[in-house]
Structure 1
Amino acid sequence: MTDLLPTTAQPAHPDPASPTFAVISGEQVQKALTGREREITDLVEATYRVHGAGDSVNPPSYFLRFPDRPSSRIIALPASVGGSVGVDGMKWISSFPDNVRSGLPRASAVLILNDPTTGYPFACLESSIISATRTAASAALAADWFSRNRPRPTRVGFFGTGLIARYIHTFLAGTGWDFEAVGVHDLAADSAAGFCAYLRQSGTDAEVTVHDSAADLIRSSDLVVFATVAGQPHVTDASLFAHNPLVLHVSLRDLAPEVLLASANFVDDVEHCLKADTSPHLVEQRTGNRDFLNGTLNDVMLGRAAPPPDRPIVFSPFGLGVLDLAVGKYVYDETAAAGNLGLIDNFFHDLRRYG
């Protein structure tokens, strides 16, 4: 069996003449990211800007589905990001909702980083934490930008209380959000209770309320976070949003077309988001056009689009592979700088063209 060799001093970029391969565990990933919410949110913003400027490649995700397990899927997100990150790679992430019944998280993932000069993969990282982190950083970034021309929300409601909800709350708190009230709603009572326990441990001073109905949660929140595993829309009443909240529609399939058509709609990437029967995709199918879209998050950051203050704002981020690469490369560089890369000895064994 090949040994994992801890290193004492490794460069942040692999030497093309002598390719190496590192495995970075979830524990190492978490160590590199914990307490860095502002820094990672800034990194995600910079990556969105690089992507918006065209210095990236982010092809459509590929969904591996199973006829005998229709609720499960594994998704491949290949990407390349330029700028100061400069890395290629792919996230391979599974979503098996039935895991929750046995106490396992729904999602698991790995991230492969490739050297853009040689194409050699140089690292494999546990990526469920990276994926949750980039999702949460994107949500916190959007919440900031979309609330700049309206009163900053003070009441947040979480619809769905799993890992992603926890990370989003952590990133909101870590980037300066201070809420008077936190609402919680989940179809599973034990999940709602677990999230409330996390909130208490987080040290929040906010009043925490568990809502029995989705309607009560939405009406009592001016920032609503959807982080569910819903496969099709289940919130259909647009009047629930009459108080014009900011909605982070992270799980993409919760809101019926009627809700989106009554709102201002922003996405992270138009082509990616309007696929796979997401709520925005359903609106496009119904209307035959994309006129309901107000723009992208990058449009807002560049001043090309402005969220209206007098309508509900719905941000539906598909989640881009370039964000995973940027956060993954950050983790790799931090781990390398600390001298803690676990290199697999002789992973690339036969490097001589003619033997």
Structure 2
Amino acid sequence: MALTAGPDTNRRQDAPDERPTIPSFAVVSGAEVDQALQGHRAEIVGLVEDTYRLHGAGQTVNPPSYFLRFPDRPTGRIIALPASLGGPAAVDGLKWISSFPTNVESGIPRASAVLILNDPRTGYPFACLESSIISASRTAASAALAADWLSRTRDRPTRVGFFGVGLIARFVHAFLADTGWDFEEIGVFDLLPGSREGFRGYLERSAPGSTVTVHEDAESLIRSSDLVVFATTAGEPHVTDPAWFEHHPLVLHISLRDLAPEVILAATNIVDDVEHCLKAQTSVHLTEQLTGSRDFLAGTLYAVMTGAVEVPADRTVVFSPFGLGVLDLAVGKHVYDTVAGTGGLHTIDSFFHEVRRYG
């Protein structure tokens, strides 16, 4: 079998007279990923919306994520997200992402990741991409998309509060800013003083028209925000008082484990995928265990986008996205195609060496 320059994964099937070929294997660096995504955040939000619609229409395969945990390193974990994306840019693959919160103490990022893309026709992997930027981008794009759809029945929030201010918070702010959000006030809260000051500096450079306030406690941040973004490393709920949300904000519960069941039960809850969110001791999973029911869930973001679920204007609305592997595939395939289109792919010759069945 011959080696090709790269697979045409925009088709699920080759022509009947074409024989499958082994694709070349490319490595895409973080710098190349960043270059492919810079200046295209609104486009990525649209891509994520299209992917949610494919997922809702049953044109994806998105099995449960698999968690590798370590008895001697209980705060760390590595997660495998296998997935298959249909539609016009069909691709299969796997995200392998680690989360080691103690990295922050050493001055390096908490998360690191790679994304493997597989050719749907042959199953051969054809690319390995640095994926911390892809993962942060698809997470932030999902958050910006949800903020847009879930605010359409209320006044658009002008006061945003960031609870947890690492890389994900920065990406969420950037995606919101690049999709038309303009905030009069931006609140900041984090348990680490260095993180608070670092994020304030970022905001003062990137959002000069906004008033930036660093809060000393979580309650004051939440009560002063119409849009609250949770992006922490919390492993269990730590926000327990529903009264903090009595002004009915829109909550992007990205880190999934911040809100106690009491807060969840007092809100309208939207998820990205019911089965995925109701596992791994997320806040909504704990709420299901407490109540023995899923009645507290209003539905999915896809249901909101298709009009099957109406979002109330007079209740707190919480969006809890578990994070779907098909989103990583969609963004990763976009990056691959962009880099390939420039002729800049770094391929590894003879990566697949044993290609003849009998030598």
TM-score by length of 2: 0.95
Are residue 350 (structure 1) and residue 354 (structure 2) matched? yes
Q: Where does residue 335 of structure 1 map in the other structure? A: 339
Contact 1:161-1:186 within 8 A present in 2 as well:
yes
Percent identical residues: 70
Note if contact 2:22-2:122 (Cα within 8 Å) is conserved in structure 1. no
C-alpha distance in 2 between matches for 1:315 and 1:306? 14
Name the structure 2 match of 1:223.
227
Q: Which residue of 1 aligns with 2:8?
A: 13
Secondary structure at the counterpart of residue 71 of structure 1:
coil
Instruction: Give 2:102's aligned residue.
Output: 98
Match of 1:276 in 2: 280
Residue in 2 that maps onto 1:63: 67
- The 4+ residue runs of structure 1 with deviation greater than 4 A are 9-12
Q: Secondary structure at the match of 2:76?
A: strand
Query: Which of 86, 91, 94 pairs up with 1:87?
Result: 91
Pick from 257, 262, 266 the counterpart of residue 261 of structure 2: 257
Give the equivalent residue in structure 1 for 2:15.
none
1:151 corresponding residue in structure 2 = 155
Of the candidates 293, 297, 316, which is equivalent to residue 293 of structure 1? 297
CA distance in 1 between partners of 2:124 and 2:20 (Å): 8
Counterpart in the other structure of 1:37: 41
C-alpha displacement of 1:12: 6.6
Amino acid paired to 1:228 = T
2:5 touches 2:23 (CA, 8 Å); kept in 1? Answer: no
C-alpha distance after superposition, 1:178-207 (max 9, x if no partner) = 000000000001001111111122143110
Question: What is the Cα deviation at residue 84 of structure 1?
Answer: 1.4
SS at match of 1:176: coil
Structure 1 residues 275-298: Cα deviation after superposition (integer angstroms, max 9, x where no partner): 000000000000000000000000
CA contact (8 A) 1:253 1:278 kept: yes
Shift in Å at residue 230 of structure 1? 0.2
Shift of 1:11: 5.6
Verify the 8 A CA contact 2:6 2:24 in the aligned structure 1: no
What is the deviation of 1:18? 3.9
Tell me the TM-score normalized by structure 1. Answer: 0.96
> What's the offset of the Cα at 1:10?
5.7
Partner of 2:128: 124
How far has the Cα of 1:349 moved from its partner? 1.1
User: Matches of 2:318 and 2:279 in 1, distance apart?
Assistant: 17
Counterpart residue number, 2:206: 202
CA distance in 1 between counterparts of 2:89 and 2:109 reads: 30
1:13 shift after superposition = 2.5
SS of 2:121's equivalent in the other structure is coil
Q: In the alignment, is the contact (CA less than 8 A) between 1:131 and 1:324 conserved in 2?
A: yes
Structure 2 CA distance, aligned partners of 1:226 and 1:295?
20
Q: Are the equivalent residues in 1 in contact too, given 2:160–2:226 (CA < 8 A)?
A: yes
Of 170-179 and 203-212, deviating more is: 203-212
Q: What are the Cα deviations for residues 78-126 of structure 1, in whole angstroms up to 9, with x where unaligned? A: 0000011200000000000000000111000000000000000000000
What corresponds to 1:5 in structure 2?
none
DSSP 3-state at the match of 2:27: strand
Q: Match of 1:49?
A: 53
Q: What is the CA-CA distance between 1:17 and the residue it aligns to?
A: 1.7
Contact 1:12 1:333 in 2 (8 A): no
Does the CA contact (< 8 Å) of 2:6 and 2:25 recur in 1?
no
Looking at structure 2, the residues matched to 261 and 170 of structure 1 have their Cα atoms a distance apart, in angstroms, of: 31
Give, as a single letter, the amino acid of the residue that structure 2 aligns with 1:210. Answer: V
Q: Which amino acid aligns with 1:263?
A: A
Question: Does the Cα contact within 8 Å between 1:10 and 1:341 map onto a contact in 2?
Answer: no
In the other structure, the counterpart of 1:181 is 185
Alpha-carbon shift at residue 26 of structure 1 (Å) = 0.2
* CA distance 1:10–1:348, shift in 2 (3 Å): closer
Distance (whole Å) between structure 1 residues aligned to residue 330 and residue 22 of structure 2: 23
Distance in 1, Cα, partners of 2:137 & 2:5: 25
Aligned residues: 347
1:4 counterpart residue number? none
**SS of residue paired to 1:148:** coil
1:10 and 1:337 in contact (8 A); partners too: no
Cα distance per residue 1:195-243 (max 9 Å; x no partner): 1111122143110000000000000000000000000000000000000
Partner SS for 2:74: strand
Root-mean-square deviation (CA), in Å? 1.2
- Residue in structure 2 matched with residue 164 of structure 1 by the alignment: 168
Q: Which amino acid aligns with 2:67?
A: F
Residues 68 and 78 of structure 2 are in contact (CA less than 8 Å); yes or no, is this contact kept in structure 1? yes
The alignment partner of 1:343 has SS state of strand
Evaluate the alpha carbon distance shift between residue 16 and residue 24 of structure 1 in structure 2; reply closer, same or farther with a 3 A threshold: farther
